[in-house]
Structure 1
Amino acid sequence: MLHNELVFLRALEAEDLEFLYALENDAALWTVSDNVVPISRYTLRQYLDNAAADWQEVRQLRLVICATDDKRAVGTVDLFDYQARHQRAGIGIALLPAEQGRGYAQAALQLVISYAHTTLHLHQLYCTIATDNVRSIYLFEKLGFTVVGVRKQWLRKADGWQDVLEYQCIV
């Protein structure tokens, strides 16, 4: 169910330590997260030890995006801030820099959006995208997300502040 011709999604495994270490310590991704310092292998190992926790309890789910052809991990897709009563969650995606531009993000998001609707019974997904992240804006709009607002000066960057767009998709 969580696969197509380009990618498949799977749960985190202990063997994902080095992959996560590379992804989480990519400073280019820090501008859209709360990370400002490198994450240690020890911290990631602890995270992996608890990754199998019930998604409704921890209110988040992280899946590894793997290329179908050679089964290598290329990124992650996250559902977070799960709200059971309102049947919604935030969604985010991150790919290793070398894996971007190959269609993996769109293929993975299509799978997780379908999974969120049919299996998790979510009513809506939302995401926040920096106004200069043209590729993500195009991707999420192509998959049915619509702008519902703008947060002014939301992200702090080295050269000042940046607005973000708030997107929503009723699934």
Structure 2
Amino acid sequence: MTSNNTVSLHPLQITDLEALQEAANKSQDRLVPWYSTPQTVESWREFMQRRLGPNDLGFLVRRTSDDTLVGFIDITNIVRGVFQSGYLSYFSVSPHEGQGFMASGLRLLVEHAFTELHLHRLEANIRPENEKSIALVKRTGFAREGYSPRYLKLDGAWRDHERWAILAEA
């Protein structure tokens, strides 16, 4: 789809199920409590099917040099009309975290969202204690817009989140 010298961004396809499931499983110890992955084969199929569009879109981040899967980004709850907005979630694949792949992938995704998908706004809601994720969105040009107490129910409890966003005009 689109690439730079470091990574390429590929729209998710149903045939990516095994690769994405394996990547998430390899990364599970780092993802908890920040990202909840499906736990059954059926829930993985549902996860994948939802991210094929039109309201949720998934993307694989692959290292350009060897096509290794290094991350996953999705835009969910895309609203058209006067809003033209979507929500981001993402994770890096172990052992490729901390090498700049996700920052490169997120920059490509933002460009794609604004030029190809014609979105106006992308929002990432991040738990305040997730310092690495906050650093990632800062590096990518997102601005902190606010704080949402008890925003999402994760791990059986309502969790506070910081609201980060980037606009097409930014």
| 2:67 maps to which of 64, 71, 84 | 71
Stretches of structure 1 lacking an aligned partner (at least 5 in a row) = none
Q: Report if aligned partners of 1:146, 1:169 keep a CA contact under 8 Å in 2.
A: yes
Q: Report if aligned partners of 2:23, 2:69 keep a CA contact under 8 Å in 1.
A: no
Residue 69 to residue 141, structure 1, CA distance change in 2 (3 Å) = same
Residue 88 to residue 165, structure 1, CA distance change in 2 (3 Å) = same
In structure 2, the partner of 1:167 is 164
In structure 1, the partner of 2:146 is 149
Alignment of structure 1 residues 84-163 onto 2, 5 Å:
84-85=80-81, 86-154=83-151, 162-163=159-160
Cα distance in structure 2, aligned partners of 1:146 and 1:66: 26
SS in 2 for 1:166: strand
Q: Report if aligned partners of 1:155, 1:163 keep a CA contact under 8 Å in 2.
A: yes
Q: Report if aligned partners of 1:151, 1:166 keep a CA contact under 8 Å in 2.
A: yes
Cα distance in structure 2, aligned partners of 1:101 and 1:33: 17
Question: What amino acid does structure 2 have at the position aligned with 1:127?
Answer: A
Cα distance in structure 2, aligned partners of 1:142 and 1:82: 23
Cα distance in structure 2, aligned partners of 1:161 and 1:47: 22
Stretches of structure 2 lacking an aligned partner (at least 5 in a row) = none
RMSD (CA atoms): 2.6
Give the TM-score, by structure 2 length: 0.82
Q: Report if aligned partners of 1:31, 1:155 keep a CA contact under 8 Å in 2.
A: no
Q: Report if aligned partners of 2:86, 2:123 keep a CA contact under 8 Å in 1.
A: yes
Question: What amino acid does structure 2 have at the position aligned with 1:104?
Answer: F
Cα distance in structure 1, aligned partners of 2:15 and 2:117: 26
Cα distance in structure 1, aligned partners of 2:76 and 2:153: 22
Residue 124 to residue 68, structure 1, CA distance change in 2 (3 Å) = same
Question: What amino acid does structure 2 have at the position aligned with 1:77?
Answer: I
Report deviation, 1:130.
1.1
In structure 1, the partner of 2:20 is 20
Q: Report if aligned partners of 1:153, 1:161 keep a CA contact under 8 Å in 2.
A: yes
SS in 1 for 2:113: helix
Residue 157 to residue 126, structure 1, CA distance change in 2 (3 Å) = closer
Q: Report if aligned partners of 1:75, 1:93 keep a CA contact under 8 Å in 2.
A: yes
The number of aligned residues is 164
In structure 2, the partner of 1:8 is 8
